[in-house]
Homo-oligomer: A and B are copies of this chain.
């Protein structure tokens, strides 16, 4: 692994999305700089963006409902796309809930426009000239959604700490998209309900 200085860190601005092109076998490290920022994450094959990272297929191929270090995320065609190769956090990530969207902010009582991970995904793809007519379920890095025995699920602040890192290896040439979740009406991005920047670097 190359020695990389702090200066090579790139910013994922608070409440925004970023599309990043990764070649096969390259590794990207994503840093939860302030410790409690959820990052909705998607991947699309460069060769054909209708091939996308799929949480359903990932559960099927791995025979696991929980993901963590070592999980290989696969596409809707069951091909490896992204491996979670290192994780310094508590290892709590969500793969069950959708991206936040304009509709959920209206449900929560927001009357004007509110940034959302759904809009961030489409905007980030548009910046690199891509559009997809669907919305895959995301890998919600650092998002803490405990499943209760009753069948209910809870939404808790992240268990990650400032500087926690997750390293992801691309298993094919892909567009990776991160959205620094703009949710500020629930504690999903921490008890302060204050979305923050996050950072990444290629390693």
Binding site for B on A (CB under 8 A): 50, 54-57, 59-60, 63-66, 68, 76-78, 96-98, 101, 103-104, 107, 133-135, 137, 147, 151-155
Contact = CB atoms under 8 A, between A and B. Distances in A.
A80 to B, nearest CB: 12
Nearest to A56: B98
A97 B152 contact: no
Copies per assembly: 2
Contact of A78 (B60, B103, B137, B155): B103
Contacts of A76: 98, 135
Nearest to A52: B134
Given A56-B97, A65-B151, A66-B151, 9 more contacts: A54-B98, A59-B96, A59-B97, A60-B104, A63-B152, A63-B153, A65-B147, A65-B153, A78-B104
- Mostly, the A contact residues are loop
Nearest to A50: B133
A137 to B, nearest CB: 5
B50 A96 contact: no
Contacts of A104: 60, 78
Contacts of A103: 77-78
A175 to B, nearest CB: 17
A137 B56 contact: yes
B78 A153 contact: no
Contact of A151 (B55, B68, B155): B68
B96 A56 contact: yes
